[in-house]
Structure formats: C-alpha cells, structure tokens
Amino acid sequence: MIVDKLFSQVATKGHVCLGLDTDYNYIPREFSDKYVSVGDAIYNFNKEIIDATHDIVACYKVQIAYYESYGLEGLKAYSNILKYIKKKNSLSIADIKRGDISKTAEMYAKGHYTGDFEADFVTLNPYMGINDSIEPFLKFIQNNEKGIFALVRTSNKGAKDFQYIKNEDNTPLYETVGEKIENLAQNYMGNCGFSSIGAVVGCTNNEEGVILRNKIKSVFLLIPGYGAQGGKAEDIATYLINGNGAVVNSSRGILLAYKKENDGEKKFAYYSRKEAIRMREDIRSHI
C-alpha cells in the first residue's frame, strides 16, 4: 500500500509536506528572467526547491489551481513537476479537491492517477457522498498503489459555515464525515497500521482535534494550517500516533523563506531547505 511508503518517509525524513503552490510572482526576478516562458520559470524554480529538499521532506503537495491559471503552459509545468518528483523517488499529492457524481469522478480518477497528471495521492471533497465522490478512485488504491486525502475538517474560516453544523445528537458534520472515512479506510490498510484512505484535517482547534483523532485512528492525515493560519507544532502532536500518521503542509512559508534574507534571491532554494528543516525540528521537538 502507498501509505506504507509515506509512513516510511515520515519516519526517516520528518513530517513536512512541501506545498508547491507556486505563483509566478513568487519567483525571484533574476531567476525568472532566464526563461522565455512562465511555465519554464515555474518548473525550474520548483525543480531547484525539490533538489534542495527531497532528502528532508516526506512528500510534495502540488496545488493544481496555481498551474491551471497559466493555461496549457502552466499545466505542462504541472505535469513535468509531478514527473520530476517521481524521478527523485519522492511522493506527490495532487491537490485537486475534486468531488462530483460517479461517472465524472471516474474520469477524474483516470486523469490524475494515470497519464500526464499521474500522482501518488489526490485530495477529494467527499461532501457529495462516498459512492459518488470517493468510490470511483478506490480501484486505483487497490490495484495501482495510489491513495487519497478526503476533506474532513479544514483550517479556513469558512469551514464553520457547513462543517460544524450539528445533528440531533449534537455531532458536527465533519465528525460524521470523518467516521465514514474511517469505516471505508478499514478496507485499505497498510502494514504500518494506517490506511491509504487519508483525511485532510486542519491543525487549529486543538480540543476538537483530540476528539476527532480518537474517531479516525486508522486514517493518515494531511494537515494544513501550520504557521500562517495559526497552527503550532504542539497542535500537530495531537494528531500523531506514536510519532507518525500525518504530514504537515507548508507552502508559502517555505517557498518564500528567501524573502526574509538579504541574499535570499540568489539562494532561494537554500533558504527553503533551511525553513523546511526548522519546521521539521519544531514538530519533532513537541512529539
């Protein structure tokens, strides 16, 4: 199961998931001016970051919207980045947040588990229902060594509009979704004790996190919200089980670390590595 590979990466490299949510404007001008096209500049910027960090991060999350916004050129860069991550023997999470009726979901699964956009994991929105939004992806988990991270409780302010609505038993909707994901996860367990069916759970709201984690113990977590959104390393520890079972995403915090340094534009990849190590050790110090 792909989750065993991710578990091993966390055990050896730490919990950092580096988000390659790369806007062209993030790239130092001196570097981007070397390239004729926006797509080439974005690809090569990311390539430098990957080369500098692949030995100290567990995986890479590539948010497709940043590439779609540049049209075909951006999508070519997106495809090439996923291929380069694989070439470096690292794991990729395609942050696509798809959620649709079953036949459409089947096409999304084919499109992001095979071919030009192939990734190891994808993010999915399960709120249209398990049978429609999740089930078409399951055959790839079993047969093609793939995984998913389903949105359960996110870290954005708008999460409370719907995810926190309570039923007659006073249970918030996100807990109900989490329990359904946990039940499904049992069918796709790895040797590491976690499932290739994972969940996206924001690291804010620590007391809620304890309750939720106790209900989804088999589910590997992708955790956003660290740093800029207020999540702290001590919050992360709440979601870990024996020091593993989750990766923690940081995008701009790592990609733009160079902006804090006087010589940052010339050494952006070095400062991304330095920030990723700082984050890794921050999390480890609270386990």
Output the pLDDT for position 106: 96
Output the pLDDT for position 109: 97
Residue 160 CA to residue 166 CA, distance in Å, equals 11
Output the pLDDT for position 241: 95
Output the pLDDT for position 154: 86
The proportion of the chain whose per-residue pLDDT surpasses 90, expressed as a percent, equals 82
Residue with tokens 């719907």: 162
- The mean pLDDT of 145-174, rounded to a whole number, is 90
Output the pLDDT for position 160: 85
pLDDT over threshold 70, residue 205: no
Both tokens assigned to 264:
């940052």
In order of 77, 109, 149, 151, the CA distances from 97 in angstroms are 19, 12, 9, 8
Q: Which of 97, 110, 232, 274 is catalytic?
A: 97
Output the pLDDT for position 228: 64
Q: For 249-287, write each residue's pLDDT tens digit.
A: 999 999 999 999 989 899 999 999 999 999 999 999 998
- Beta carbons of 20 and 49 less than 8 angstroms apart: yes
When mean pLDDT is compared across 43-52, 53-62, 254-263, the lowest value belongs to: 254-263
pLDDT over threshold 80, residue 204: no
* Greater pLDDT, 160 or 55: 55
Both tokens assigned to 77:
């860069």
In order of 42, 50, 252, 254, the CA distances from 269 in angstroms are 13, 8, 13, 9
* Greater pLDDT, 155 or 113: 113
Which burial class, exposed, middle or buried, applies to 208 when counting CB atoms under 10 A from its CB (0-12, 13-18, 19+)?
middle
pLDDT range class, residue 225, cuts 50, 70, 90? confident
CATH classification code of 2-284: 3.20.20.70
The domain spans of the chain are 2-284
Output the pLDDT for position 142: 87
For the chain, give the mean pLDDT: 94
97 is catalytic: yes
- The mean pLDDT of 141-163, rounded to a whole number, is 90
